[in-house]
Amino acid sequence: MIDAPGGGGKVPLLPEYVEEINEDEVIFRNYEGQRFVYKQPRPINVEPARREAAAAGIVPIEVGKTSKPRKEVGHSEAKDGT
């Protein structure tokens, strides 16, 4: 189901509503016959940004990876180290 822009209403993605699907766009019509075009998403090349970040010493956050737990500092230690 797509909510068509400009008050076009909700349009089910069923064969009778979809006019064309290609690499660039999805074209469909609502119940009134109004035509709508949605652009297909494009993959993003993140390698240049990763190289730039690595050169600057920035460590990227990666999905699915966890860090090692930090050691907790006890609150009983005095601030002046005594």
Task: Using alpha carbons, list the distances in angstroms from residue 80 to 73, 75, 77.
Answer: 14, 12, 8
**What per-residue confidence (pLDDT) applies to 4?**
86
Out of 29-33, 56-60, 61-65, the most confident range is: 29-33
Q: 35-58 b/e with 16+ CB inside 10 Å = b?
A: ebeeeeeeeeeeeeeeeeeeeeee
| Contact assessment for residue 13 and residue 21, using Cβ atoms and an 8 Å cutoff | no
User: From CA 30, how far away is CA 24, in angstroms rounded?
Assistant: 20
User: From CA 3, how far away is CA 30, in angstroms rounded?
Assistant: 10
pLDDT digits over 35-49, tens only?
A: 999 898 888 888 888
Q: For a pLDDT cut of 70, what percent of the chain falls above it?
A: 74
Q: What is the mean pLDDT of residues 54-79?
A: 68
